[in-house]
Structure 1
Amino acid sequence: MARIRQPELTRAALLRAARQVVQDQGAALSLDAVARAAGVSKGGLLHHFPTRDALLQALALALVEQFREGLEAAYARERAEHGERPGAWLRAYITLTFCEEDEDTALHRALVPLAGQPALLAALAQAQVFLLERAEADGLPPGAAHAIRLACDGHWLAELTGQPRLSPAQTQAMQEALTAWTR
């Protein structure tokens, strides 16, 4: 009987395995470790991701997509609770930015060393163009919308790059100020 191939399911399993290996070992993961974690041969892994960089780029892009899905869910909750008012998308963005998820923070921190790869940065920039578009279309003045989004991004990036952390009270004050600017 012929084996049924499901390349998208295999790719998803490989990305889940890569995510776990990166969380455990950092961005210096080996393809052998990912293949073992996914239960496939190294050749099977290389069929889908011909290089380690290709695998890490796909993982980074999958994280962007996961964030986008979480953002859309937060936006739907914001609209359900408060209606379709200007600033709703940015309030969802703020909520997601200040949500503590240690597992994801550890994963993102492990991927920070990849920031020096121009091809990855270009792919990530392209994948995140929607942030500019959605912020500007949220009904607030464009300058305010981008300032709020960039403040959130700065907070998030500071966490990842080891910058001094805000105290819980400072973090709460920042979140409240940003949210107030959306109303």
Structure 2
Amino acid sequence: MAKRQPPELTRTTLLQAATRVIRTHGATLSLDAVAREAGISKGGLLHHYPTKDHLLTALAHALVDQFRDELRAAHASEIATHGDTPGAWLRAYIHVSFTPAQDTELLSTALAPIATLPDLLPDLQAAQAFLITDAQADGLPPGRAHAIRLACDGLWTGHHLGLPDLTNEQRAALKEELLSWTRP
């Protein structure tokens, strides 16, 4: 008899498979393709994620967790290099925002339809509430802290919405300007 793996491991396997399917096929994610890629029956997938929306929501949460982990690492590096000074968290936020991970862009585009599902949005917003609280707690004037975070978010969102993008030189100038707002 084959030994079953823990449910958390199965869910991780399914999310990794969904990521590979999106990477290969773009936003046209099907549950059949994810189950095949994971080597799990479709019924097994549906046991963990009863609908495509549930799977996409779990992927969105995984992206938030990945971003938060990257941000924590960048923040720790910032503190190790420059000390725990006001603006350290925001400097880390700027660095991570201006150097997105490879899968983040692709997955974010594929997950954009979640924004149109009002029942799923509050939970995802709650998972990202740390962005506001951590920015405000970083020791800079609140208005400046939120302006920095929102500028980073606007750059990212505009890119994903197909708005005109900045050149590399313009991005570098924006990044340096935002970083200057975090220094005493």
The bucket for the TM-score relative to the shorter chain is over 0.9
Secondary structure at the residue paired with 1:86?
A: coil
Q: What does residue 91 of structure 2 align with?
A: 91
Partner of 1:148: 148
**Superposed displacement of residue 21, structure 1:** 1.1
1:6 maps to: 6
Q: Look up the equivalent residue of 1:34 and give its one-letter code.
A: V
CA root-mean-square deviation: 1.3
2-structure distance, mates of 1:103, 1:8:
21
Provide Cα deviations, 1:62-111, integer angstroms capped at 9, x if missing partner. 10001000000000000000001000000000000101534321221222
| Residue 2 of structure 1, CA deviation | 6.7
Residue 110 of structure 1 aligns with an amino acid whose one-letter code is: A
The residue that corresponds to 1:65 in the other structure is 65
Q: Secondary structure at the match of 1:119?
A: coil
User: What is the aligned partner in structure 1 of residue 106 from structure 2?
Assistant: 106
Q: Note the 1:32-47 alignment, pairs <5 A.
A: 32-47=32-47
Amino acid in the other structure paired with 1:13 = T
| In 1: Cα distance, 2:165 partner to 2:134 partner | 28
Q: Which stretches in structure 1 are left out of the alignment for 5+ residues?
A: none
2:3 and 2:103 mapped to 1: Cα distance? 36
* 8 A contact 1:26–1:111 mirrored in 2: no
Residue 47 of structure 1 aligns with an amino acid whose one-letter code is H
Offset at residue 32 of structure 1 (A): 0.5
Cα distance in 1, alignment partners of residues 23 and 112 from structure 2: 12
- Counterpart residue number, 2:135: 135
Paired amino acid for 1:35: A
- Kindly provide the amino acid, as one letter, of the partner of residue 97 in structure 1: S
Task: Write the deviation string for residues 31-72 of structure 1: whole angstroms up to 9, x where unpaired.
Answer: 100000000000110110011110000000110001000000
Question: Aligned residue for 2:181?
Answer: 181
**Which of 96-105 and 132-141 deviates more?**
96-105
Please state whether the residue corresponding to 2:115 is helix, strand or coil.
Answer: helix
Moved over 6 A (4+): none
Any idea what SS the aligned residue of 1:28 has? coil
SS at match of 2:130: helix
In structure 1, the residue matched to 2:122 is 122
TM-score by length of 1: 0.95
How high is the sequence identity, in percent, across the aligned residues? Answer: 58
Residues 27 and 113 in structure 1, CA contact (< 8 A), matched pair in contact too = no
Residue 28 of structure 1 and its aligned partner are, at CA, apart by 3.0
Per-residue deviation, 1:119: 2.4
Question: How do 1:48-63 residues align onto structure 2 when only pairs under 5 Å count?
Answer: 48-63=48-63
Return the offset for 1:164.
Answer: 0.4
Report if the CA contact (8 A) 2:87-2:182 is conserved.
Answer: yes
